[in-house]
Chains A and B, each alone.
Chain A
Amino acid sequence: MVDQEKIAELEQIARRVRCDIIYALVHAQSGHPGGSLSATDFSVALYFHTLKHLAHTCTWEGRDRVIFSKGHVTPLIFSLLAEAGYLEREELKTFRKYGSRLQGHPNLECPGIEVGTGSLGQGLSIGVGLALGLRLDGKPNRVYCIMGDGENQEGSTWEAIMSAGHFKLDNLCVVLDNNGLQIDGWVEDVMGLQPLADKWRSFRWNVIEIDGHNMAECVQAFDRAALAKGQPTVILAKTVKGKGVSFMENRAEWHGKAPKPDEARQALQELACPAEYFDF
């Protein structure tokens, strides 16, 4: 059973992270809100419940590894790292600006980033190699890979899925942010992927389907994934693109567009963010 108090705490963190996402975006005046907001809840469950990591020793050998294959969700990634103590929240104001460690897509300049990503369809393959390497050394570290659903259209993603199943990498866990939208519209219209769960299952993966905005389900899914033996796990998280901001929800045009200051104010109000977020 998951502790109700812990769930409530995680939900509070998720709310703060969403505030930070809007905050970083309004300061940058570019970036990707839609997929950041859809992936927030399970990412918070991962970072603040499941993951073994030390913010102040980000090269600690015992850490679990996280790879954001959907590298464009830097508003989320940097907000998570700020919340976890890798960054000062103040630094979010430099996001996407010249000279900042917080690039449009993540790179090694930023503490807590394992590898630069951004070209979709690449992250899971990196995860496969990491999981193989850690297993070869008999290490208990786990590897988590956050993917978008659209990048399941990349052929190399299926090469990676096939190999993880083949190698029986039970130290590897994917969370698939199944918000159903990509830049050009609904995933099913752009290039249909369904039945997605069956596809992964047929490639020898353990599939866990959850509501990606139900914190208790997110936490339980990671716990269950860690118990799987002899196969990798994909958590298929049904989510809403732009979750938490009414005018962004389920709207493809908010994939890669920052809110203008008045839109950001409305978003921050809807998220009940504290006063210090309104300094722009």
Chain B
Amino acid sequence: MTATEPQLDGTEIKWKPTRDGYGDALVEMGALDERIVVLGADLSDSTRALWFWKKYPERFFEFGIAEQNMLNAAAGLSLAGKIPWVSTYGVFVAGRAWDQIRTTTCYSKLNVKIAGAHGGISVGPDGATHQALEDVATMRVLPNMVVIVPCDYYETKKAVIWACKYVGPVYVRFGREPVPMVTGPEDPFEMGKANLVHDGKDLTIINNGPILYECMKAVQALKAKGISARLLNMHTVKPIDREAIAAAARETGAIVTVEEHQVQAGFGSAVAEVVVQTHAVPMRFIGIQDRFGESGNPDELFKEFGLTAADIVRAAEQVLEAKSRS
């Protein structure tokens, strides 16, 4: 992906990885709250935890390549009154250390913050082993857990700052690659509340995470075809914004969900759980369709796995057809 690209309205848009938002938020909050500590598992540069480590070395704990121990050590630090942030790749935390998160952190509702880096297929060349595509599912199934997938740098920063102030377990997922900074520092961030990016009446596209820019391009392409699409950016997977989903179903009658994650049990499934219980309407799911990822650059992989604006447009047209038949 390129470093800059003309924005849809013609102005220049800057790109930055969401993980940078994590690194900057930690440094900022570290100065404000001495209780914040950070734990790393040999990936501190890559997760941006290193930025905190350099600034507050006494409050950083290196645990080596031992994620299960790190997760429960974070639980222990929270019991000592600290606000621990655990930093490693999504696969190694939401997969490998899942029992620790479930039975220690979530069961006792401990104040542990989990940063799952390298979420999604956009991780690119490292391939399937390092592309977290199941983490949202394994985290959202846990009672007491909050799951947030921010869409860009500023949203990540706001999510991390929010999580520092909230008491309880939080999973924040971010990506490796630079993505367009579509939100600004002053835009609202309310945990559990979707943001309306664009209003429309024919269908609603509900986005989760840094793939938002593809959704924005899809909305423009649909507009050119005379289709009016609502676009919601839903950063919080759990607790999900039931109200916004039910209103979208009721008012537009068709929904396409978009995520960089397995569609089974992921964000789209979370939306569907609300749709079928409030106002059942046709849905389509953009995301990884029950496959492992592979090596490649993010652009190639988005095409291969059907995550581009063109794929979203196609799904929108399909769901509209289903809507017209229903």
Interface of A with B (CB < 8 Å)? Answer: 65, 107-108, 114-119, 121-122, 125-134, 136-137, 155-156, 159-160, 162-163, 167
B108 and A136 contacting across the interface, CB-CB below 8 Å: no
Main secondary structure of the interface of B (DSSP, over half): helix
B107 and A163 contacting across the interface, CB-CB below 8 Å: no
* Contact A107:B76 (CB < 8 A) given known A125-B100, A132-B61: no
A125 and B103 contacting across the interface, CB-CB below 8 Å: no
- Give B114 Cβ to nearest chain A Cβ, in Å: 14
Closest A residue by C-beta to B79:
A130
- Give A58 Cβ to nearest chain B Cβ, in Å: 13
Closest A residue by C-beta to B103:
A119
Chain B residues 100 to 121 lying within 8 A of chain A, measured CB to CB, are 100, 103-104, 107-110
Measured CA separation A167–B71 after assembly (Å): 16
A125 and B73 contacting across the interface, CB-CB below 8 Å: yes
* Contact A125:B72 (CB < 8 A) given known A116-B103, A136-B82: yes
Q: Which 5 pairs show the lowest CB-CB distances between chains A and B?
A: A129-B76, A133-B80, A125-B72, A129-B73, A159-B69
Given contacts A125-B76, A133-B80, A162-B66, 19 further A-B contacts (CB under 8 A): A65-B79, A115-B75, A115-B108, A115-B110, A119-B104, A122-B72, A122-B99, A122-B100, A129-B72, A129-B76, A132-B73, A133-B76, A134-B80, A136-B58, A136-B82, A155-B68, A156-B69, A162-B69, A163-B66
Interface string of B25-66 (1 = CB under 8 A from A): 000000000000100000000000000000000110101101
Main secondary structure of the interface of A (DSSP, over half): helix
- Give A155 Cβ to nearest chain B Cβ, in Å: 8
B75 and A159 contacting across the interface, CB-CB below 8 Å: no
Most buried by B among A121, A125, A129: A129
B209 at the binding interface (Cβ < 8 Å): no
Closest A residue by C-beta to B99:
A119
Closest A residue by C-beta to B76:
A129
Number of A-B contacts (CB under 8 A): 103
Of the candidates B66, B76, B99, B108, which one forms a contact with A127 in the assembled complex, judged by CB atoms under 8 Å apart? B76
Measured CA separation A65–B79 after assembly (Å): 10
- Give B67 Cβ to nearest chain A Cβ, in Å: 8
Enumerate chain A residues within 8 angstroms of B76, measured Cβ to Cβ: 125-133
Measured CA separation A160–B76 after assembly (Å): 12
B77 at the binding interface (Cβ < 8 Å): yes
Of the candidates B69, B78, B100, which one forms a contact with A163 in the assembled complex, judged by CB atoms under 8 Å apart? B69
Closest A residue by C-beta to B69:
A159
Enumerate chain A residues within 8 angstroms of B72, measured Cβ to Cβ: 122, 125-126, 128-129, 156, 160
Chain B residues 260 to 289 lying within 8 A of chain A, measured CB to CB, are none
Enumerate chain A residues within 8 angstroms of B70, measured Cβ to Cβ: 125
B107 and A136 contacting across the interface, CB-CB below 8 Å: no
Measured CA separation A190–B78 after assembly (Å): 35
B6 at the binding interface (Cβ < 8 Å): no
Measured CA separation A114–B74 after assembly (Å): 14
Enumerate chain B residues within 8 angstroms of A119, measured Cβ to Cβ: 99, 103-104
- Give B151 Cβ to nearest chain A Cβ, in Å: 32
* Contact A129:B58 (CB < 8 A) given known A122-B103, A162-B66: no
* Contact A129:B66 (CB < 8 A) given known A118-B103, A119-B103, A156-B100: no
B226 at the binding interface (Cβ < 8 Å): no
B81 at the binding interface (Cβ < 8 Å): yes
Measured CA separation A44–B66 after assembly (Å): 33
Enumerate chain B residues within 8 angstroms of A131, measured Cβ to Cβ: 76
- Give A147 Cβ to nearest chain B Cβ, in Å: 13
* Contact A133:B100 (CB < 8 A) given known A116-B107, A163-B73: no
Of the candidates B59, B64, B84, B109, which one forms a contact with A129 in the assembled complex, judged by CB atoms under 8 Å apart? B84
- Give A34 Cβ to nearest chain B Cβ, in Å: 22
Enumerate chain A residues within 8 angstroms of B103, measured Cβ to Cβ: 116-119, 122
Enumerate chain A residues within 8 angstroms of B79, measured Cβ to Cβ: 65, 114-115, 126, 129-130, 133
Enumerate chain B residues within 8 angstroms of A130, measured Cβ to Cβ: 76-77, 79-80
Closest A residue by C-beta to B59:
A136
B69 and A125 contacting across the interface, CB-CB below 8 Å: yes
Closest B residue by C-beta to A135:
B80
Measured CA separation A118–B195 after assembly (Å): 41
Measured CA separation A118–B108 after assembly (Å): 12
- Give A52 Cβ to nearest chain B Cβ, in Å: 16
Most buried by A among B72, B75, B104: B72
Measured CA separation A65–B99 after assembly (Å): 23
Measured CA separation A167–B77 after assembly (Å): 14
- Give A172 Cβ to nearest chain B Cβ, in Å: 10
Interface string of B89-105 (1 = CB under 8 A from A): 00000000001100110
Measured CA separation A111–B119 after assembly (Å): 39
Measured CA separation A263–B75 after assembly (Å): 40
